[in-house]
Structure 1
C-alpha cells in the first residue's frame, strides 16, 4: 500500500518526526533525536524509547471550535485530536503549532524552513483551529510568549542570536532539565531566610508593639499572606521565562535601563552581605575564645577599627561562604536544604529546654508592657502587618532568581505557602515562647538566640547552638544578599562577568564596605535602609504593573536579549524613559515619606513607606505608559 510521508515536528514529543499516511490513519513516528537532551521529556526524565517511538492519531470528527475552546491544553498532554483533513492540511504546510508560536524545538524560528514556509502562507488555518494568530519577530520567524515552549529549550540557539552585551550562560533562560527546585527546595529557602538572628529578633519585636498576643498573630497572619501573594506575583514571570531579576527588569525599564534597577538592588545586597558576614563572624570569635583562650591576645592588634581576632573570624566566614557560593546554584540549593531544618531542630530543642526550666505558667504572648487604647491597638496591628511586608522587601524584587529553577508553578506556590505563612507563624510562636521564657530563667528578657545559648552551662550546647546560627546566617546571606548581587553584576557586564565572577566581586566589595564601621553607626544604617529600601518598593510596583497590566503577561523572551532598534524592549536607545521617570517620581515620594517619618520626625512614625512607594510606582507607570500610548 502506498505510503506518504510529510516532514514536520512531533506535536506530542516536541521533536523532529514525520507523519506517514496509511489507509486513512495518520501515524506519528519519531526520529532518533540528534542530542541526548531531545530524548528527555519536559520534566527532564528519560522517556522509554520503545513507548516513545510510535503513537497514532486516529481520525476524530470534533468541531474545531470545540477543540479551540475546551481542549487547548490537551494539545501538549499527548492527547492531540484533529480530523484527518485538518491534520493533513497542516502537515502539508510543514507547520508546527504551539499555543502562541510556530517554532522548531524551541530554537530560533528564523532558521526553521517549516516556519518560514508557514509565515509565507495564510494564517487562516492556524486561526481556524486555535483561534489566534502566531506572533513573529523582526527576523521573520515566530516568537514565543510562552517560554515553557521557548526559552528553556532554545538556549543554545538563543546564545548565537543574542547580543553579547545582554547575554551569558547565567542570564540565559534556564532549560527544563536544569529546573531542579522542588516545593521543598523553595520551602527550605524561606526557612534559611527567616531562621536567622535577624529573623528571630524581628519576630520577637512584633510582640513588643504593645498589642495583645492574639492581635499580633492576626496581624502577622494577614501580613504574611500578603507577602505570599506578592511573592507569587513576582515569581511567576521568572518561572515562565526562566530568567533572573535583572533580565526581567528589561521588560519595564528597557534592555539597558535594567542596569539601573540591577544597581539599586545590588548595592543593597552587597552592603547587607558584609553586615551579615560580620554578625556571623562574632559567633566564630566566641567559639575561638571558648576553646582557645589565648586568642584573646589578638584583640590588642587593630586594623581599620577591627581587631586581629575580628579579622580572623571575618575572613574565615568570608572564605567559607565564598567556597560554597562558587560551587553554583545547585550546591546553594543543597546547602539551604540543610540550613533551614537544622535551625528548626535547635529552636525546638531550645524551646523545650526553656519550657522545662520556666514552666508553662510563666509564658506570655505579650512581651511589651505598654497599654494602648482601642485606636492605638488597631494602628499597632496595621503597623505590625506592614512591618512583615517590609521585612521581605528585598526578596520581593529578586525572588525570580530562585523561582526560575522551580520544576513547576505549582511547586513554587506550595513552597511559598509552606515557607511563608506556615513557617513564619510557627517560627514566630517559637520565638516568643523562648524570649518570654528567658525572662523567667535568666532574670531578663534576651532577644538574641546566640546569647541565650551562651548562657547555657554546657559547652556542647554552646557549640551546637553557635554553629547552627552561623549556618543560619550563611543561609540568609545566600538567599537575600549574595545571589541577587551576583546576577546584578553579571547583568552589568555579561560579556566578562558570569554568576561566579559576579559573586566574587560582590564578596570583595562587601569587605571594602567595612561593615563593622557601618554597624557601629546606627544613624548610617537608618539612612541607608530608609533611602534604598524606599526605592525598592517603587521598582516592584513598576515591574508588576508592567507585566500584568501593560504587557498582559505576554513577553517575547528572545527580545530580552537583542539590541536591535526594532526590538520590543529597546524603547529609547535601550531605556524606557517612561519607566525611569515613573521610578524616579515614585522614589521621591517614598524616600520623602521615609525621611519625614524616620529622620525629620515631621510625620508620626509609621511603616507605610513600602506600601506608598509600591502603589505610587504602579499607578504612575500605568498612567504614563497609557498617556504615551506604549504597550
Structure 2
C-alpha cells in the first residue's frame, strides 16, 4: 500500500530552515507518478545498451587476467541468472521508493537516521560521480571518432592537456553539456529521453549483430570461446558463477538506490513489469548481441575487440559506422543519466537541501567529474581497484542493512512526516541524528567487504568476483546480531513525542 501524500508545504512547517528537505527531495505526488512499466523498461534498456557493458561482455568472451575466455553459452546463462537476482533486489529497494515516494537518500534515513543517512549517500555519490565521468569519457571516444570522420581536420587536434588530446576534450565537454541539459529539464525530460532512445538503440544493436554475422558468413558457435576452444564442463560452470558475481557487482549501485526511480511509479505492477522486462529479458539479450559481435570480429578481422571504439575504427561502411557510433553515444548518455547523474544529484542535494537543489547537485556532479580526469582513472587499474573498488565494496553492506531494517525490523512501517523532521523527538532522530546500531553493524561487514575486494591472497582473490554476495548478507546478519544483542524488538525505535495519527504512521506492507 502506498503512503498518503505529504506535500512540501506540510514538511516545510516542521522544517522551515530546510535542513532536511527541498522540493526535489519531497515525496513524489500523484502528478509525479508517471513512470509506467514501459518507462522503467526503457530505463533498463538505456542502462544495458552502452559501450561499457559491451566491453564487459566482450571482455568475458575474450578472457581477462587469470579468467579464461568464456563461451557465449556461459556468458548468456550467467547474465540471465544474475539479472534474475538483480530483479529481486531492485524490486526490494524500489518498493521503498514506491511506498514512501522518497528518493534513496531520504529512504535510508529510516535505517541510518536523519543525519546519518548522509554517510551512505556520500559514498554512493562519490562512486556515481567517478563512474559518471568514466562513462562520459567512454562515450566521448565514439563521439570523437564520429567527428573525426565528418571533420578530418580534427585529427590534428592532438595536443595533450592533462592526459587528453584537445579533440577528446571537445567531445567530452560536449557530451557533459548535453547530459546536463537533459537533467536540468527535470525527471520528465529524463523519462522522455529514455523512452525514445531505448528502442532506437535496440534496433541499431540488432542491426550491428546481423551485419557482423553476415560479414563472418554466419559463423557462430555457442560453446567455443575467442581462442577457438571449448572449456571443460567444470570450467564453464565456474565461469557461469563468475559471470553472475561480476554482473551483480556491476549493478550494485542501482540495486541500492532504485528508489530514486520507483518513487515515480503509479503502481507496484509498473515496478515489477518494468524490472522483469528490463532485466532478465533485456540484459541477457544485449549480452548475447555483444558476444555475437565479438565472435564475428574474430572471423572478420582475426581478433576480438573488447573496446567498441577499436571495432568502430575498423568499420569501413560509413552508414554502419555512423549508426553504431550514434547508438553507442546515445546509449551511454542514457546509462550515465540513470545510473550516475540522477543519483549523484539526489545524494548531493541531501547533504544540504537548503543550498543544493537537484539541478545544483547535477552541476556539481559535472564539475567534479571533470576535476577527477576520468580518462586517467579509466586508464589506471590500480585507481579502479583500490579507490572505486573499495567504495563499491561498501554498497553491499549498505544494501543488506537497509533491507533487513526496513522489511524485518520496521516491517515497512514508516512515519513519513518524521523522515523529514530535524526534531530530536522524531522517530528517525535516534542518537543525535544517527542510528548507532546501523554503524555498529556496518563496521565489521565493511572490513570483510574491503578485504574481499582488495586483499591479494589466493583465497580472497578466488571469491572476489562474489564480493557482493558476501557483503550484502553479512551486513544484514551483522545488523540482526546488533539488534538481538541490544534486545531491540521489531518495529521498535525512538518514537515521536507527539501523538501519531493514522495518517502519520502508515502501514506500507
Settle same-fold status: TM greater than 0.5.
Answer: yes
Identify the residue that residue 148 of structure 1 maps to in structure 2. 3
1:589 maps to 448
What whole-Å deviation, never above 9, does each CA across 1:100-127 have from its counterpart, x for those lacking one? xxxxxxxxxxxxxxxxxxxxxxxxxxxx
Shift of 1:316: 1.2
Relative to total residues, which structure has the larger helix share, 1 or 2?
Answer: 2
In the aligned structure 1, how far is the partner of 2:55 from the partner of 2:165? 26
Bigger radius of gyration among the two: 1
Which residue of 533, 558, 563 maps to 2:422? 563
Match of 1:186 among 1, 17, 40: 40
| 2:200 alignment counterpart | 342
Residue in 2 that maps onto 1:276 = 135
- The Cα of 1:604 is off from its aligned counterpart by 3.9
- Measured after TM superposition, the shift of residue 627 of structure 1 is 2.2
Is the contact made by 1:365 and 1:432 (CA closer than 8 Å) also made in structure 2?
A: no
Between the two proteins, the alignment pairs up a number of residues equal to 481
Superposition deviation, residue 442 in structure 1: 1.7
Deviating beyond 6 angstroms after TM superposition, the runs of 4 or more aligned structure 1 residues are none
Give the CA RMSD over aligned residues.
1.9
Counterpart of 1:628 (choices 472, 486, 490) is: 486
2:256 is matched with which residue? 397
In the aligned structure 1, how far is the partner of 2:347 from the partner of 2:102? 12
Query: Is residue 161 from structure 1 mapped to residue 14 from structure 2 by the alignment?
Result: yes
| Cα separation, partners in 2 of 1:358 and 1:323, compared to 1, 3 Å | same
* Distance in 2 between residues matched to 1:289 and 1:211, nearest whole Å: 34
- Any idea what the Cα deviations from partners look like across 1:135-180, whole Å, max 9, x if unmatched? xxxxxxxxxxx643243xx443233223621011011000011111
1:318-337 → structure 2 map (5 Å cutoff):
318-337=176-195
In structure 1, distance between residues paired with 2:148 and 2:235: 46
- For the Cα contact (< 8 Å) 1:243–1:404, is it kept in 2? yes
| Structure of greater relative contact order (alpha carbons < 8 Å, 6+ residues apart) | 2
Structure 1 residue 437: Cα displacement:
1.0
Distance across 2 between alignment mates of 1:470 and 1:166: 36
Q: Kindly tell me: are residues 367 and 373 of structure 1, through their superposed partners in 2, closer, same or farther at Cα, counting changes over 3 Å?
A: closer
Check conservation: 2:208, 2:320, Cα contact below 8 A: no
Q: Is the 8 A contact 1:189 1:340 kept in 2?
A: yes
Tell me the residue number matched to 1:100. Answer: none
Change (3 A) 1:581 1:528: same
Q: How does 1:94-109 map to 2 (within 5 A)?
A: none
**Any conservation in 2 of the 1:538–1:613 contact (CA below 8 Å)?**
yes
Q: Secondary structure at the match of 1:401?
A: helix
Structure 2 CA distance for aligned equivalents of residues 220 and 272 of structure 1: 21
Q: Does 1:386 find its partner at 2:245? A: yes
Give the deviation of 1:378 after TM superposition.
Answer: 3.1
CA distance in 2, matches of 1:450, 1:405: 35
Distance 2:133 2:383 in 1: 15
| Aligned counterpart in structure 2 of residue 266 of structure 1, from 122, 125, 129 | 125
Q: Shift of residue 215 of structure 1? A: 4.1
Match in the other structure for 2:110:
251
Could you tell me how far 1:213 is from its partner in structure 2? Answer: 4.2
| Structure 1 contact 450–465 (Cα < 8 Å) conserved | no
Equivalent residue for 1:605? 462
Q: Distance in 2 between matches of 1:216 and 1:234?
A: 26
User: CA 1:508 to 1:559, structure 2 compared with 1: closer, same or farther past 3 Å?
Assistant: same
CA drift at 1:448: 3.1
**Contact in 1 for aligned 2:71/2:230 (Cα 8 Å):** no
- Does residue 469 of structure 1 match 2:328? yes
2:432: which partner in 1?
573
Question: Could you list the runs of 5+ residues in structure 2 that have no partner in the other structure?
Answer: 493-509
- 8 Å contact kept, 1:590–1:613: yes
Among 143, 161, 176, the residue aligned to 2:30: 176
Contact kept? 2:223, 2:230, Cα under 8 Å = no
Mapping for residues 132-531 of structure 1, pairs under 5 Å: 147-151=2-6, 154-162=7-15, 164-207=18-61, 208=63, 209-210=68-69, 212-300=71-159, 302-369=160-227, 372-531=231-390
CA contact (8 A) 1:364 1:436 kept: no
Contact 1:182 1:406 in 2 (8 A): yes
Q: 1:537-565, CA deviations, whole angstroms, 9 ceiling, x for partnerless residues?
A: 10000100001111011111111011211
Describe the superposition over 1:195-226 as per-residue Cα deviations: whole angstroms up to 9, x where unpaired. 00111122234445555544443333222111
Q: For 1:213 and 1:474, how far apart are their aligned partners in 2?
A: 27
Q: Is the 8 A contact 1:162 1:562 kept in 2?
A: yes
TM-score (norm 2): 0.90
Aligned equivalents of 1:284, 1:328: Cα separation in 2? 25
- Structure 2: how far apart are the matches of 1:276 and 1:406? 27
Distance 1:320 1:212, change over 3 A: closer
CA drift of 1:283 comes to 1.8
Q: Secondary structure at the match of 1:185?
A: helix
| Matches of 1:537 and 1:309, distance apart in 2 | 38
* 1:365–1:433 Cα contact (<8 Å) kept: no
Confirm or deny: 8 A CA contact 1:542 1:617 kept in the other structure. yes
Counterparts of 2:70 and 2:133 in 1: how far apart (Å)? 34
